[in-house]
Amino acid sequence: MLNSREKKILIALKEAKKPLTISNLSAITGVTTRTVKKDIEILKQKLDRNKVEIITKPGVGVWIEEKVDDEYLENVLYSSNKIINPIFPDDRVYYIAKRLLETNNLMTLEDFSVELYVSKSTVAKDILKVEEFLGKYGIKLYKKPKHGIKVIGDEKSIRLANAEILKNVTTKHDEIINDSLKDLLKDVDLNAIQRIIQGSEEKFNYILSDVSFKGLLIHLAISIKRLWEGKKVTLDLKDLNLLKKEKEWEIAKDLAKNIEKRFNVVVDDTEIGYITMHLMGAKLQNDIETEKFSENYLKRLDCKLYIILKSIVNDIAEMTGYKFYNDKKLLVGLFLHLKPTINRLKNGVKLDNPFLEEIKKECGIAFEISISFWEKLKEFYKINVNEDEIGYVAIHFGASIERLKSVDRNKKTAVIVCATGIGTAQLLTARLTKLFPNIELIKVLPVIKAKSMLKDLSPDIVLSTVPFETEEAVVINVSPFLDEEDVDKIERIVKNKKIDTEVKKIKSKILNYISEDLVFLKIKAKDKFEVLFKMSQRLLALNYVKEGFYESVLQRDSFSSTAVGNLVAIPHPYEGFVNLPKISVATLKSPIKWDDDKKVQIVFMIALDLSIKEEFKNIFDELAEAINDKEKILKLVDCKDYREFIETFKA
C-alpha cells in the first residue's frame, strides 16, 4: 500500500505532460530532493513494472512509461478512497502537524484535503488543534491568505514536537521497531541505529527500558534526518560545559561516533549534548543493590535533591500513616529515578508510560500519593509533569506500600501506659526495644490520656505499669523493669491469635467518617459535575468543608481522573478545604460517563485532613480493598438504605 506522499508523486507523474524534475516533485510534496529520490526508488519497488514503470534520467527528469495498465494504476491510487493515511488512521492532527514540520513550503487546506480524503472544513478544524499542539513547543503557524500555512520555530522545538508525534502514533506495547515506525522514518536505517544502541549498552554496561530505548532511537533518527537536511540545533555554552561533566557524555560521544560512521553525518558537540540529555532522562538501569547507596553517597551525587526527597517523603508519611521514612529502598529508588527525570523535564523531553492505565487501576492509592509528591516537588523545581510521570513515581510508592505491609504482617505494635508518661517508662522502652525487635513502640501515654487516644492509635497490645483496662487492645500489666515473668507474658500474647482477632474488631476506620446525612443512594445524574456539586454542597451546608471545596475537587479531577475502575470514583480536593474530616458516598441508578473511557456508578468523596493522620493508612487500605472487590461494589450499588449500605460495606 502506498502512503500519501507516494500517491502524490504518482498522481503528479500521471498527470504531467512532460518529465518532471526532482525539484518539481520536491515542491509538490514539500520534502527535500533527497527524500524525493528515495521515495521514487521505493515506488519502483512497490509497483508492478509490467503494468506501471517509472523512468528516471539525469538531466531530463522523471516520468511514467507510456505503456500503462490504467486499471492497475487506478486501483493503486484510488482503490480505497476512504482510507486516511494508513500510518495515522485515527489522528489527522498528528499527521498534519508532522507534514508541516517536515516542509519549509506553504501548504494549503486543499493539499491536506486531497491527501486525507476529507473536506476542507474538516481540515480547517484540525488545523486549530494542530496550532494548539505545536504551541506547547513554542512553534507557531504562519498563515498567508490564499497561499497556505507553514510552521515557524527553532530547530530544538521542531525536533521535540516531531519526537512527541512519533511516540504518540507508534504502538506502545509492540516491538521496538514496528511497521508504523519504519514507515514514518523510512529514510533512516532504524535497524542500524538499534544495533548501535545495543552495542553501546554492552560496551558501557547499562540497560535501557523498552520505552527509553524507543525514545532514544526516535531521537537519533530525527537528528540524522535533520542533519541530512542541513538543520542544526543550538545549545548554550554554559549548559554544554555542564553536560560534558555528566557520565552520560562519554556514552553520547561513543554513540555519536558510530552514528557519524554509519550515516555519513557530522555530529558536533551540540548534538552530543542533546543525546546526553536524552540519556540522562532515559534512566539507565544498572543491576544495583540498594545497600550500596549510602546517605553520604547520594548526597555527593546531588545534595539538594536528596534533602528535598527526604523531606517530602517524611511529609507524606506523616500525612498518610505509611512509614515511608523506614523504607530505604523507596528513597534510593526515587532518587535514581528523579535525578535524570528532572533534567529531562527541564529540557522538554517527555517519556511515555505504557502501563499508565494499569498503574491507575491497580495502584490507585499510590497514584494519589504520587500526585501529592509531585505537587510538593514542583515547589523546588520549575517543571511541568503529566500523568505519565506521576505513574512512574506511583510505582515506587506502590512497591513501598507492599514492602511495608509485609513488614507490618510480621510486626506487632505496642503502646506503653504509665503514671506520668515519663521517667520509668524510658527504662521500659529501652528493655522492650532490646528484647522484642519485632514489636514497634508507637507511643508512651500517661494513664489520664490513654483511653481517649488508644482508639486512634489502634495498637496490637498495651503494656501498662499501672492498673488499666480497655476494649481497644490486649492489655498486659508489666513492671517498669520488664522482668522474666513479664517477658513470658508478652511472648505468649504476641504468639496468640487472640491479638489478630482483636485487631479485626477495630479494623474498620472508614465507616467512622461516613454518616447517614452524607450518603446518597440510587440518585439520578446526567454527568459527574451534577454528582460532585450535590455532594460538595451537602458537605458545605453541614460546615464539614470550606468555600472553594467544590472548585478544588474539579481542579483535582481535571488534572488526573479520579475514576479508578470497577465503576468507582474517589474525587477529593487539594489540601486546605476541610473543617471536619468526612467521607460522602453516592450511588447512581445508572452508570454515568466520568471520562472518555470510564463509567462510574459509586462515588466516594473524600474530605480528610491531617487531623486524622494516624488513621490515613487504615482508611486508604480499607478503601483500596473495597474498590478492588467487584462483587462488593455491585452489592453496594444495589443497596436501598443507609443501614444496608453500612452492613454490606462491613461484610
- The answer to whether residues 294 and 382 belong to one domain is yes
Is 509 a residue whose pLDDT tops 70?
A: yes
Among the three residues 280, 304, 334, which one is the final residue of a domain in this structure? 280
Is 120 a residue whose pLDDT tops 70?
A: yes
**CATH code: domain of residue 389:** 1.10.1790.10
585 in Cβ contact with 601 (< 8 Å): no
Q: If you average pLDDT over residues 172-179, what whole number do you get?
A: 53
pLDDT for position 424: 54
* Structural domain boundaries, residue 542: 510-650
Is 475 a residue whose pLDDT tops 60?
A: yes
10 Å Cβ neighbour count for 213? 18
Domain count, the chain: 5
Among the three residues 34, 53, 81, which one is the final residue of a domain in this structure? 81
- The answer to whether residues 568 and 627 belong to one domain is yes
- The answer to whether residues 535 and 624 belong to one domain is yes
User: In whole angstroms, what is the distance from residue 205 CA to residue 587 CA?
Assistant: 54
Q: Could you tell me the CA-to-CA distances from 348 to 98, 102, 344, 436 in Å, in that order? A: 18, 20, 6, 51
Query: Does residue 97 sit within a domain?
Result: no
Query: Does residue 137 sit within a domain?
Result: no
10 Å Cβ neighbour count for 204? 16
Query: Does residue 486 sit within a domain?
Result: yes
- The answer to whether residues 550 and 637 belong to one domain is yes
- The answer to whether residues 484 and 399 belong to one domain is no
**CATH code: domain of residue 216:** 1.10.1790
- The answer to whether residues 480 and 535 belong to one domain is no
- The answer to whether residues 417 and 404 belong to one domain is no
- What size, in residues, is the chain? 651
Query: Does residue 92 sit within a domain?
Result: no
Query: Does residue 549 sit within a domain?
Result: yes
pLDDT for position 4: 64
Please, which residues have CB within 8 angstroms of residue 516's CB and are 6 or more apart in sequence? 642
- The answer to whether residues 310 and 400 belong to one domain is yes
pLDDT for position 351: 65
State the average pLDDT for the chain.
80
- The answer to whether residues 213 and 344 belong to one domain is no
First to last CA, the chain: 59
Q: If you average pLDDT over residues 314-342, what whole number do you get?
A: 83
Is 169 a residue whose pLDDT tops 90?
A: no
Is 78 a residue whose pLDDT tops 90?
A: no
Query: Does residue 388 sit within a domain?
Result: yes
**CATH code: domain of residue 579:** 3.40.930.10
Among the three residues 408, 443, 460, which one is the final residue of a domain in this structure? 408
**CATH code: domain of residue 76:** 1.10.10.10
- The answer to whether residues 353 and 244 belong to one domain is no
- The answer to whether residues 366 and 426 belong to one domain is no
Please, which residues have CB within 8 angstroms of residue 213's CB and are 6 or more apart in sequence? 176, 197
pLDDT in tens, 230-279: 888 888 888 788 889 888 899 999 999 999 999 999 999 999 988 888 78
Instruction: Report DSSP state, residue 423.
Output: T
- The answer to whether residues 519 and 618 belong to one domain is yes
